[in-house]
Amino acid sequence: MWSGPRNISTAMMRAFENRADCSVVDEPLYGFYLAETGIDHPGRDTIVAAMDCDWRRVVAGLTEAPLDKGHIHYQKHMTHHLLPAVERGWLDRVVNCFLIRDPVEVVASYLEKRDAVTLADIGIREQAEIFERAADRLGHAPPVIEGRDVQAAPEAMLRALCAAVGITFDPAMLSWPPGRRASDGVWAPHWYGAVEASTGFSPPGPAKAPPPGFDDLIEEARVYYERLRRHRLTGAH
């Protein structure tokens, strides 16, 4: 599942982890991304120290390692972690899905956590590139799901997603126990407060608006967002 930051990506991971037949992994390329770019994120040194920062070993684990449980492996990825140095052939060995959110809301939410934001920070351009690569190989659009749609109609949208990737919907995906998971990344204390308190998908709230000065960034991001949005799943069919 390829997402940008400040979406419902962790709640989606919770939903899949609550299945008895599914193992999950939380942003496995994050350590590599931080080590390679030198960017300063909350908990950066702890993350780099805790994770394997060799993308080749990470990818081998994502495509070859045995699963902790079940036969489904849900991989929660941030699109901007897939830096150009990472060879792309392994993407042909997984089912690529895309979780999207309106750039207005992404930028507004991101700025609640950090002082600045750029196109590279939100990964929307990379998301479109990964999408186009998958679409070219498949000959049709891969599954795209909008976070607000999932929040508004969790069962219908999760049924549609499961059908699109060829697995059976499990009602256990609709709720989960609160709290932190062993599978959560070490960055959870900085980012996961809301999802740790959750027991399911919350209804979508009012759209957030960013502070002034980000119109150009949002419009640049919107071009990529709309490219994916026109292919989004709309219900259980």
Name the nearest CA neighbour of 58 among 106, 26, 84, 80: 26
* Alpha-helical runs (H) found in 23-102: 30-37, 44-50, 55-64
Q: What is the CATH number of the domain that holds 19?
A: 3.40.50
Q: Where are the beta strands (DSSP E) in 52-151?
A: 72-78, 98-100, 144-146
Domain that holds residue 186: 2-229
Please report whether residue 203 resides in a domain.
yes
* Total domain count, the chain: 1
Q: pLDDT, tens digit, for every residue of 97-131?
A: 999 999 999 999 888 878 889 999 999 999 999 99
Residue 77 lies in a domain: yes
In a domain, 72, yes or no: yes
User: What is the rounded CA–CA span in Å between residue 202 and residue 221?
Assistant: 26
Beta strands in the chain (DSSP E): 2-3, 22-26, 72-78, 98-100, 144-146
Domain annotation covers residue 158: yes
Q: Is residue 147 part of a domain?
A: yes
Provide the pLDDT for residue 119.
94
Task: Note whether residue 234 is domain-resident.
Answer: no
Pick from 101, 195, 92: nearest CA to 148: 101
Residue pLDDT, tens place only, 150-199: 999 999 999 999 999 999 999 999 999 999 999 999 999 888 888 999 99
CB 165, CB 99: distance < 8 Å: no
Is 88 domain-assigned? yes
* Nearest-angstrom CA–CA distance, 38 and 36: 6
Does some domain include residue 235? no
pTM attached to this predicted model: 0.95
